[in-house]
Amino acid sequence: MDIREIRTEDLNPEQFINEQVAKIKAEVGDGLAINALSGGVDSSVVTMLAHRALGKRLITVFVENGIMREGEPRHIVGLFRSLGVPVRLVDARKEFFSALKGITDPEEKREAITQTFYKTVFGRLVKKSRAQYLFQGTNYTDVEETVAGIKRQHNILGQLGIDTRKRYGYKVIEPVIQLRKTGVRSVGKALGLPEEIYNRPPFPGPALTTRVIGEVTPDKIKLVRKATTIVEQELASSGAFQYLAILHNDRVTGIRKNRRDFGHQIEVRCWESTDAVTGTPTRLPYETLERLAGRMVSEVPGVVSVTYNITKKPPSTIEPI
Ligand code: XMP
């Protein structure tokens, strides 16, 4: 691998920003560039760097895939607009849900999302924009894991030997490729991003899809989205690494208004971890667990059972799929 890591302890964020902005200006010249913003730390930092360098010659799109958290698309787009960065919100919900229809296998779900995003939706936007440059938030860990064959990050093209200019007509620029996540966070802070962005808890690219067991439908996403809001509200002050709600596929018997109710099960997970490679469930106070269960059954329609995961990673993983 010929990419040199900049270790977080050696990083001077202001100097890094100046160097990257100058590099982008030199590379893109008076050309046109495009990027997709998700609101995650990497794509947010890249958006800010490219915007500083290119201003209106950067087209930033936010793809609403229908599988994000409550109010997330509008919130992120609004936040960047308030920072002076114009963002186009593209509604692709139908395309994502139709690609997910009938799929129950976890890897096939991820693949359907990757294909719909890159080939169908974003691919079409890039082509239409006639941009010659595409910015991506690839970081050093992504490269390392791809090269080691641990996981194939969908954003790695160059590392897989794909010449995007020849194949797709645009060049990929990856301004944070030398940084680990902690480095990207400190650059985000120096760029003036709000703390809710640069210190964001991890959230997976395939979004709430990773938290629905079985087929993903708009109705199931609605349920898990509600449960996610509750978990995030109740556990934000826990100081945990990550916390999530999962909608199970099997139904269980419950009682409501003295009648049998064959209802939904929600599983809550809350993790202590530093790097997501290993993890231990947080020893949450029992009162917190009771409050979570109470809110789930009264606020999420059809839920009759709430469980808390007490298994370490490994053998568990952070996300259920
Ligand atoms: P697991 O479930 O493998 O998760 O223990 C480790 C960390 O990675 C996140 N995660 C993902 N992030 N795309 C992502 O961008 C994915 O497909 C994906 N799957 C898991 C997970 O939230 C945790 O922080």
CATH code at 134?
3.40.50.620
29-67: per-residue pLDDT in tens?
A: 999 999 999 999 999 999 999 999 999 999 999 999 999
Distance between Cα 314 and ligand 1 center (Å): 14
Protein residue whose Cα sits closest to atom 9 of ligand 1: 204
Q: What percent of the chain has pLDDT over 90?
A: 87
pLDDT the model gives residue 155: 55
pLDDT the model gives residue 119: 87
Q: Do 108 and 220 share a structural domain?
A: no
Number of domains the chain contains: 2
pLDDT the model gives residue 153: 56
Q: Do 281 and 179 share a structural domain?
A: no
User: In this structure, is residue 56 part of a structural domain?
Assistant: yes
Task: Determine contact, residues 171/33, Cβ cutoff 8 Å.
Answer: no
* 3-state DSSP assignment of residue 125: helix
For residue 205, give the ligand 1 atom closest to its CA.
15
Distance between Cα 112 and ligand 1 center (Å): 16
Element (H, E) at 231: helix 218-235
pLDDT the model gives residue 2: 81
Q: Do 174 and 25 share a structural domain?
A: yes
Cis peptide before 314 (omega within 30 of 0): yes
Identify residue 26 by its one-letter amino acid code: A
Protein residue whose Cα sits closest to atom 11 of ligand 1: 204
For residue 202, give the ligand 1 atom closest to its CA.
24
Burial group, residue 94, by CB count within 10 angstroms (0-12, 13-18, 19+): exposed
User: In this structure, is residue 315 part of a structural domain?
Assistant: no
Q: Do 269 and 132 share a structural domain?
A: no
Select from 149, 165, 198 the last residue of a domain: 198
pLDDT the model gives residue 136: 95
Q: Do 36 and 169 share a structural domain?
A: yes
User: In this structure, is residue 74 part of a structural domain?
Assistant: yes
115-162: per-residue pLDDT in tens?
A: 999 889 999 999 999 999 999 999 998 888 777 766 555 555 666 666
Select from 198, 231, 262 the last residue of a domain: 198
pLDDT the model gives residue 151: 56
Q: Do 154 and 26 share a structural domain?
A: yes
Q: Do 151 and 14 share a structural domain?
A: yes
pLDDT the model gives residue 131: 96
Domain that holds residue 120: 8-198
**Which residue's entry shows tokens 């945990």?**
240
Task: Report the predicted TM-score, pTM, of the whole model to 2 decimal places.
Answer: 0.92
Select from 198, 220, 253 the last residue of a domain: 198
User: In this structure, is residue 28 part of a structural domain?
Assistant: yes
Protein residue whose Cα sits closest to atom 22 of ligand 1: 204
- List of the chain residues with pLDDT < 70: 1, 149-162
Distance between Cα 219 and ligand 1 center (Å): 23
> What is the Cα–Cα distance from 44 to 224, expressed in whole angstroms?
25
pLDDT the model gives residue 157: 63
Pocket of ligand 1 from Cβ distances under 6 Å: 110, 202, 204-206, 210, 242, 276, 313, 317-319
pLDDT the model gives residue 230: 98
Distance between Cα 277 and ligand 1 center (Å): 10
pLDDT the model gives residue 221: 98
pLDDT the model gives residue 253: 97
Task: Determine contact, residues 306/266, Cβ cutoff 8 Å.
Answer: yes
CATH code at 216?
3.30.300.10
Pocket test for ligand 1, best of 65, 146, 210 (most atoms within 8 A of CB): 210
Task: Determine contact, residues 45/187, Cβ cutoff 8 Å.
Answer: yes
Q: Which residues neighbour 235 within 8 Å (Cβ) at sequence distance 6 or greater?
A: 243, 270, 284, 288, 292
Q: Do 219 and 78 share a structural domain?
A: no
